[in-house]
Amino acid sequence: MGTGRYPAVMRCPMCAVEDTRVIDSRPADQGTSIRRRRACAECGHRFTTYERGVPVLLVRKRSGRLEPFSPHKLHRGVEAALADRPVSPAALAELLDDVEAAATAHGGPMSSEAIGRLVLDGLRVLDEVAYVRFASVYKDFQGAGDFGREVAALESVSAGDRSEVGDDPASLGAGVRKKS
């Protein structure tokens, strides 16, 4: 066994013996992975494995510390803000996918503040109550005045959206990317 985080051996899928050897190795998937043919020394079974690089997205926390991006942690936070709100699981998944895609496209480490802003932007469109809930944690609200200021800012943004599309109630939200 290896001494690192992962075992240094490949077990045979038929007999689970650790004694397998590589009999062929070549690039695959336009060079993004390595295909290896292996043979078990115990039972003779031949099988194929693939090695692929997994990019590690890093988040720079407010303290300056770097940690791996955790989709699960992001999901928990957004799900807590959306508790008991009429938002579909598909809309939640799309928001989370958008945030993760933006973090991936960013390239290097992304600040937790930038990730929080992306979530807030998505929640502003998706559900205003969830937006205020998430903002209260993200912006570290200390009292009712903080909530009042955030709601007033949200209302001014919403009023600006309405003035752009007209006063017709049927047109409210037009021009804003709604997620369903």
Asked whether residue 176 is domain-assigned, the answer is: no
- Dihedral in degrees, nearest 10, Cα atoms 9, 13, 14, 19: -10
Neighbour-count burial for 119-150, b at 16+ CB within 10 Å, e otherwise: bbebbbbbbbebbbbbbeebeebeeeeeeeeb
Rounded-to-integer distance, Cα 168 and Cα 40, Å: 71
Asked whether residue 12 is domain-assigned, the answer is: no
Asked whether residue 134 is domain-assigned, the answer is: yes
Asked whether residue 136 is domain-assigned, the answer is: yes
**Residue 25 is part of which domain span?**
20-52
- pLDDT, tens digit only, all 180 positions of the chain: 444 455 567 889 999 999 899 999 999 888 888 999 999 999 999 999 998 877 678 899 989 999 988 889 999 999 999 999 998 999 999 999 999 888 888 878 999 999 999 999 999 889 889 988 888 888 888 888 888 888 888 887 766 654 443 333 333 333 333 333
Same domain, 109 and 47: no
Same domain, 91 and 145: yes
Same domain, 74 and 139: yes
